[in-house]
Chain A
Amino acid sequence: MTDPLLDGRRTIARRAAEAAEVPDYASVLRRGRRRRTRRRTMALGTAAASVAAVVAVTQVVGSGNGGAPPGPVDRSSEAPTATTTRGTDHVTGLAALVDGAEARIVSMAVTTGDPEGMATVWQVEDGRAVLALTDDGYATRTLLEVPTTTRVHQAGRGRFVLVDGLPTKRVRVVASDGTTTPVTVSPSEAPLAEGEVPIVTGTQSRQIVGVATDGTAHRVPTPKGMVDVRSLGGRLVGIAFDRTAVYHWTDDGGATWDARDLGVDTVFASPLESPPGHDHAVVEGADGATLFPLVALHTASAGDPTEWTRTALQDRAVHWTVDGGWVDADGVRLLLTGEPAGRRRGPSEAGVFRVVDGELEKVSGLGDVRKDGSLQMLLVEYADGPVVWIAGEGHEVWRTTDGGVTWEPFRAR
């Protein structure tokens, strides 16, 4: 034994990581919520000494249940109307929450080719979220309280699919007037059919489910162990990790899957949305203490997806974080924020970039979208090409249809 510590460097930790038993994420969520409830209960007890404090705390406790059943519908234009069973106060409360300065968008979907049909999920405080639906660009809207883990997907014919997330993993189809249809998943397995929406369920290993607008659904053949699944224009892609990252893709709705071992020993490999007929791309992050600092880009041409090229990022002076990315006819587009390496305060640069010979080339700076430099990609939809939506600073959302060169804002609540 020359140096037992240097000799065992990384090996011991890596073996331990491999041997770790990963708990169900739902159990972690439950545990965290119990902790939060205990904390709030303690706060309530403290506040009992003061009438004024009791009122304030009761408002907080009354709002907090991430797994709460959906609340009443508020269909309104400027002011909500009290047409629900839970009373005017609750309806008014939903509008106040979604319109509040603290509201933060966490998910969105649009009717393909018609951005006036939109659904957005706003997380308004810890433990509360509101879905805002419209078919007229939010001249009028329907508000629906949903669990905080809810994500929304476009389903066609003016409908959207709600995945209530964890731990329930409940899936519903919702119309723009707020009426919902529960989704029943049949045990049969089949490729995605025309018009079906691919939804991902499962906590450890993902299962793709095809959902139709009438609420019927079925399992879609899914490679074992996929943990990062994306869909665009009929192509499904995902990453599975064994000892290395393996990229899976299908262009026929899951009837047949292809796979390619990228040969990188990191869990920070994330596929980018790419439609059929376009190149494939995966971003590789660092095995470090931050999430997804960009290290390299893996690409394969649509014509020969078995031949992959790894392009290492050469710019070591800037610490780049990947906020999202997609592939269009002109290649890969990355949504990045960067700061000088070693400096901690504030992003120095943000925007859409291309990777050219290992160098980043800025496509647009997004200064109009986010003056604070923080970026949040919300959606990549397919309408004769990738259409990308990101969150704006003033609660609007921005869309690009030209690879990130120009952006236009849309009302989102």
Chain B
Amino acid sequence: MADVSGDPIQRCFDGCYRRLVGQLYGVCGDLAEAEEVVAEAFARAVASRRAFERLERPEAWLRTVAVNVARTRRRRAAMADRLLRRTTPAGPRRDVDLSEQRLLVVAALRALPASQREALALHYLADLPVAEVAETLGVPVGTVKARLSRGRAALLALLESQSLVPGGAHD
């Protein structure tokens, strides 16, 4: 008997959804946002089913799409803020049940430029090799290494400044 989940996208969904959310949590800095962008990546897979089913590495494709969705949402939010001349309030975020020390790391990541945050989150938190981070972000390996180097320095400086609070809403 074949499982009903003979649907390859559902198989991927069953097997990868949580892991992708885990990987995107550091990129987005918010669990709800990570869930949203991963769900949107799967919806795009459904919308392009035939192309998706021909992919050699569907999970890598989903991760890249999710990162791009996160970037787009961030840009749109920033544009809306500018148009409406508003300052985004430090709204409620959904954080993960982590030690205070690790929540501080997440808060520090949120305070970094997006390019550095993405590289650090995918390499250090999601444990992806540098080459795979480069593939996901669509930049050369050297660029990723540079972002990792600068990002680490910036993150350590932030942590040492002790200006962060766990769950803090820096952007």
Binding site for B on A (CB under 8 A): 1, 4-23, 25, 28-29, 31-33, 35-36, 39, 106-107, 125-126, 148-149, 151, 153, 163, 165-166, 169, 197-203, 206, 227-232, 267-268, 287, 289-291, 344, 378-379
Report the bound CA distance from A106 to B5 in whole Å.
12
Q: Note all chain B residues with C-beta closer than 8 A to A230.
A: 1, 3
Q: Note all chain B residues with C-beta closer than 8 A to A202.
A: 4
A28 and B4 contacting across the interface, CB-CB below 8 Å: no
Interface string of B58-96 (1 = CB under 8 A from A): 111001000000000000000000000000000000001
Shortest Cβ distance from B91 into chain A, in angstroms? Answer: 18
A17 and B1 contacting across the interface, CB-CB below 8 Å: no
Given contacts A4-B101, A12-B96, A16-B34, contact A198 B1 (CB under 8 A): yes
Report the bound CA distance from A10 to B122 in whole Å.
10
Report the bound CA distance from A278 to B98 in whole Å.
45
Given contacts A1-B159, A8-B124, A126-B50, contact A16 B22 (CB under 8 A): yes
A-B pairs with beta carbons under 8 Å apart, 21 shown: A4-B108, A5-B105, A8-B102, A8-B124, A11-B98, A12-B22, A12-B26, A12-B96, A12-B98, A13-B22, A15-B22, A20-B21, A20-B22, A28-B39, A28-B42, A32-B45, A35-B44, A163-B4, A206-B3, A227-B5, A344-B56
A227 and B14 contacting across the interface, CB-CB below 8 Å: yes
4 interchain residue pairs of minimum CB distance: A32-B46, A17-B22, A16-B25, A13-B22
Q: Which residue from chain A places its CB closest to the CB of B1 in the assembled complex?
A: A231
A36 and B46 contacting across the interface, CB-CB below 8 Å: yes
Known: A31-B39, A165-B4, A290-B56. 9 other contacts (CB 8 A): A13-B126, A16-B26, A17-B18, A17-B19, A21-B35, A28-B43, A31-B40, A126-B50, A166-B10
B56 and A18 contacting across the interface, CB-CB below 8 Å: no
Q: Note all chain A residues with C-beta closer than 8 A to B44.
A: 32, 35
Instruction: Return the contact of A268 from the options B15, B40, B49, B58 (Cβ within 8 A).
Output: B15
B137 on the interface (CB 8 Å rule)?
A: no
Shortest Cβ distance from A308 into chain B, in angstroms? Answer: 22
Q: Which residue from chain A places its CB closest to the CB of B120 in the assembled complex?
A: A5
